[in-house]
Structure 1
Amino acid sequence: MPLSFPRTGYFLCLLLCCTSLKTAAQLAHRLDSLLQADTPRAFNGVVLVEQKGRIIYYKAKGEANREKHIPLKKEDVFIIGSLSKQITAVLVLQEMEKGHLHLTDTLHRLLPGLKAPWADSITLEQLLTHTSGLGSPPDEAAPLLSRPGTEFHYSNYNFMLLAQVAAHTSGKLYEALVKDLFKRCGMKHSSPPRGYHGPLVTDYAEMPDGTWQVADNILELAAPYGPSGATISTAADLLRWNHCLHGGKLLQPATYQLMTSRHASRQGHRWGDVGYGFGVQVDSIGNIPEISHNGNFAGFIATDIYLPQSVTSIIILENVNAQNQDRNRTFYYHDLIREWVRQQL
């Protein structure tokens, strides 16, 4: 029997493997060079890139504490900002799968103690997609910015309310729900901020005069915002989260499809007109689908990007937040790494 076809297949496989390894090495070299730059600012954080279970890049650069000159480690713990929203969204969707709620339910039905005048007109789906009309301050007396279901207004308050819903319908504290979820995913170094007493890198927020401010009471400040923007985690744990969420371990296929479908348009983002699902951004650039979110809280910024076609995760955490009203500068390294990975992988 001729052996040409098996040999051809073997050599083709070997060629593709070598090409993939070469591409990964080239990307790692480019990222090494990038993280050594100091303009428009210096990078200070952790970068983790994985494709199909293989770590392409995983390094830390900078300091965990500038005053004590403590270098960052890959395993260091950060506040992940609005990456927290997808965690809260999963908890709500799991309650839906159990039959405890429907996405068309109003807040008044699920939180009868909420006396806000808009409680009977805002649905859970509108909270999940930032189309509730609510602003960011948790103020029940504040008027809506728009009629529910008509416009996108990014609001942390949406997810603070969703956390109350999940707690009410499950009969458990939100913090207990999150810890159970993290245990299921093997995320041993992740936690809601309330009650957390473990290690945390020092946060540095840039002031208008160019100085850097440290919030000494960062965990106290973060505690109320766990569901929307202050969950605590590591790069490796966020990779485990991606494995769980996108690997089908947390939601039924139909529910996951619902979560990662475009329900609203987030206009004015620095990436352009970005679609929004339930707690995640969803987009397709050059026919490459992408599920993502950025986050910032006090002196922390974060990015988590998942490319389903190539099964690629891009996770970036920093403990410096260059908040000078120029988000292109703030997320300069995050956006460039995103672009390079998309190009080469």
Structure 2
Amino acid sequence: MAFSNFQSLLIRGAAACALILSFSACSQSEELIVEEDCELHVEAPETFTPTVATKLGKQVDSLFTQLHKRRGFNGTVLVTKYDQIIYRGAFGYADFKTKDTLSTQTVFQLASVSKQFTAVAVMMLKEQGKLNYEDSLQVYIPDFPYKGITIKQLLTHRSGLPNYTYFSDELWPDRKVDLSNDDVLSMMAVHKPNIYYQPDRTFSYSNTGYALLASVVEKASGQPFAEFMHEHIFEPLKMNSTYTFNHELVAQTGKVASGHIGGRRKRLPDYQDTVLGDKGMYSTVEDLYKWDQALYTQKLVRRETLEEAFSPTGKFNRKDESYGYGWRIKQLESGDTVVYHGGLWHGFNTYFLRNPNDHSSIIVLSNLTNGSLNYMKDVRNFMYPARPKNAQRPVQVASAR
């Protein structure tokens, strides 16, 4: 899979940061720019004028308006290009019974889009020297009964572990009692449900793996997972409407969307919602834009660390797609390589795509699982149309800002 364009952007951006640092240190009149705050910036071409951006935004609005009318899309949207927000919109209701309307400040359960946050927490601890990707799980969870499983295998869905969302239905005695990450570990230690396959044999998407990573974050950091996420990610990025599952916060009618399934029936949280790491993050499209922009900086982790997370790992079950650390990696017909993730959980359906080539993103949060997000391919094809086979992609110039 071609990935050299993104890697070259990273390298040029890092070099530009170093140049700015050198220049700033030599002049007392210049404000010192700290390297971790340097941003990888792709200059918009001269043809991308405000008029063009406005027109593009109107076209995106038309796409989602039709998706709302014809496919029943209910949710919020934010789309960017060259780091600029070109469109944001809200369609439908936060709660179909009360008719609370959605806005781009409405909070949604992120479902599996949560996984990328868990992955970055692991990366941060790795940079701090508190863990290594090749560490065995027993380093942090001594009584973990499955041998030969590493942190990296959890990050890349190659552990072979059984899915807790299935085996807990059989093993958890009272579904009126919340299930915690520690409870998942206890069930695995006591009952030892059968593995799906031997570690690192193949890719198999695993919620269990990311729930275990949240436990590793707790053990390595000495902080509860929710506290670590708030202190080290959400608060520094001023993601003020982002948090992990909390019964009181989720119950805030109007501010927090309710999940809905077929027939627009409300889907209330249940005992599995309290397991974190694989899901359980709540946020808005506005806050996810802050997250998107932060990933072009080194505020959280170094650029080379993030580059590894965006790189394919091992054999995958699709020719045009792979998986990194908390992100799917896809080659588009346009020739661009994007990173993205979708999510589906208890009445919520989410989609988050980032294209490093033009610093664009498509962020979609829905609280109605009616299949409308199956049409994200149409939006993607509009934003990144296929180029003729002999056409070359224009090279963007990366700089720090």
Name the TM tier (shorter chain).
Answer: 0.7 to 0.9
Contact in 2 for aligned 1:83/1:293 (Cα 8 Å): yes
Structure-2 residue corresponding to 1:57: 87
How far has the Cα of 1:21 moved from its partner? 3.7
How far has the Cα of 1:339 moved from its partner? 2.0
Judged with a 3 Å threshold, the aligned counterparts in structure 2 of structure 1 residues 57 and 143 are, in CA distance, closer, same or farther, namely same
How far has the Cα of 1:56 moved from its partner? 0.6
How far has the Cα of 1:20 moved from its partner? 4.1
Structure-2 residue corresponding to 1:9: none
- For 1:201, give the aligned amino acid: A
- Map 1:62-101 → 2, pairs under 5 A: 62-101=92-131
Q: Which range moves more in the overlay, 52-61 or 197-206?
A: 197-206
Structure-2 residue corresponding to 1:298: 346
Q: How many residues align?
A: 313
How far has the Cα of 1:25 moved from its partner? 3.3
Structure-2 residue corresponding to 1:343: 385
Matched, 1:281 2:328: yes
* Structure 2: gaps (5+ residues): 1-43, 165-183, 387-393, 395-401
Structure-2 residue corresponding to 1:36: 65
Judged with a 3 Å threshold, the aligned counterparts in structure 2 of structure 1 residues 273 and 284 are, in CA distance, closer, same or farther, namely closer
Superposed CA deviations along residues 253-273 of structure 1, whole A, max 9, x for unmatched, are 2211111111145436xxx64
- For 1:65, give the aligned amino acid: D
Higher relative contact order (CA 8 A, sep 6+): 2
2:374 aligns with one of 332, 337, 345: 332
Judged with a 3 Å threshold, the aligned counterparts in structure 2 of structure 1 residues 333 and 75 are, in CA distance, closer, same or farther, namely farther
How far has the Cα of 1:249 moved from its partner? 1.7
* Structure 1: gaps (5+ residues): 1-14, 323-328
Contact in 1 for aligned 2:61/2:87 (Cα 8 Å): no
Tell me how far apart the structure 1 counterparts of residues 335 and 224 of structure 2 sit (CA, whole Å).
41
- Map 1:206-285 → 2, pairs under 5 A: 206=262, 211-216=263-268, 218=269, 221-224=272-275, 226-267=276-317, 273-285=320-332
Structure-1 residue corresponding to 2:357: 309
Superposed CA deviations along residues 123-171 of structure 1, whole A, max 9, x for unmatched, are 0000000000113225521222111111111010001101111110111
Superposed CA deviations along residues 97-148 of structure 1, whole A, max 9, x for unmatched, are 111111111111221132x2x1x21000000000001132255212221111
Structure-2 residue corresponding to 1:123: 150
How far has the Cα of 1:245 moved from its partner? 2.2
Tell me how far apart the structure 1 counterparts of residues 271 and 239 of structure 2 sit (CA, whole Å).
22
Q: Please, what TM-score do these two structures have when normalized by structure 2? A: 0.73
- For 2:109, give the aligned amino acid: I
- For 1:189, give the aligned amino acid: S
Judged with a 3 Å threshold, the aligned counterparts in structure 2 of structure 1 residues 202 and 193 are, in CA distance, closer, same or farther, namely same
Structure-2 residue corresponding to 1:133: 160
Tell me how far apart the structure 2 counterparts of residues 161 and 221 of structure 1 sit (CA, whole Å).
14
Contact in 1 for aligned 2:327/2:341 (Cα 8 Å): yes
Contact in 1 for aligned 2:202/2:316 (Cα 8 Å): no
Structure-1 residue corresponding to 2:168: none
Structure-2 residue corresponding to 1:25: 54
- For 2:344, give the aligned amino acid: N
- Map 1:114-193 → 2, pairs under 5 A: 114=144, 116=145, 118=146, 120-137=147-164, 138=184, 140=188, 141-180=192-231, 181-193=233-245
Contact in 2 for aligned 1:175/1:194 (Cα 8 Å): no
Contact in 1 for aligned 2:94/2:102 (Cα 8 Å): yes
How far has the Cα of 1:66 moved from its partner? 1.3
- For 1:279, give the aligned amino acid: G
Judged with a 3 Å threshold, the aligned counterparts in structure 2 of structure 1 residues 33 and 265 are, in CA distance, closer, same or farther, namely farther
Tell me how far apart the structure 1 counterparts of residues 383 and 351 of structure 2 sit (CA, whole Å).
13
Contact in 1 for aligned 2:297/2:303 (Cα 8 Å): no
Q: Which range moves more in the overlay, 22-31 or 98-107?
A: 22-31
Judged with a 3 Å threshold, the aligned counterparts in structure 2 of structure 1 residues 201 and 18 are, in CA distance, closer, same or farther, namely same
Tell me how far apart the structure 1 counterparts of residues 109 and 222 of structure 2 sit (CA, whole Å).
27
Contact in 2 for aligned 1:264/1:277 (Cα 8 Å): no
Superposed CA deviations along residues 56-94 of structure 1, whole A, max 9, x for unmatched, are 101111111211222211111100111110111111111
What secondary structure, in the 3-state scheme, does the structure 1 residue paired with 2:365 have?
strand
Contact in 1 for aligned 2:107/2:257 (Cα 8 Å): yes
Contact in 1 for aligned 2:75/2:366 (Cα 8 Å): yes
Tell me how far apart the structure 2 counterparts of residues 56 and 36 of structure 1 sit (CA, whole Å).
16
How far has the Cα of 1:330 moved from its partner? 4.2
Contact in 2 for aligned 1:84/1:230 (Cα 8 Å): yes
Judged with a 3 Å threshold, the aligned counterparts in structure 2 of structure 1 residues 332 and 259 are, in CA distance, closer, same or farther, namely same
Judged with a 3 Å threshold, the aligned counterparts in structure 2 of structure 1 residues 191 and 260 are, in CA distance, closer, same or farther, namely same
Tell me how far apart the structure 1 counterparts of residues 47 and 199 of structure 2 sit (CA, whole Å).
53
Contact in 1 for aligned 2:109/2:282 (Cα 8 Å): yes
Give % identity: 27
- For 1:307, give the aligned amino acid: N
Contact in 1 for aligned 2:78/2:285 (Cα 8 Å): yes
Q: Which range moves more in the overlay, 183-192 or 30-39?
A: 30-39
How far has the Cα of 1:248 moved from its partner? 2.4
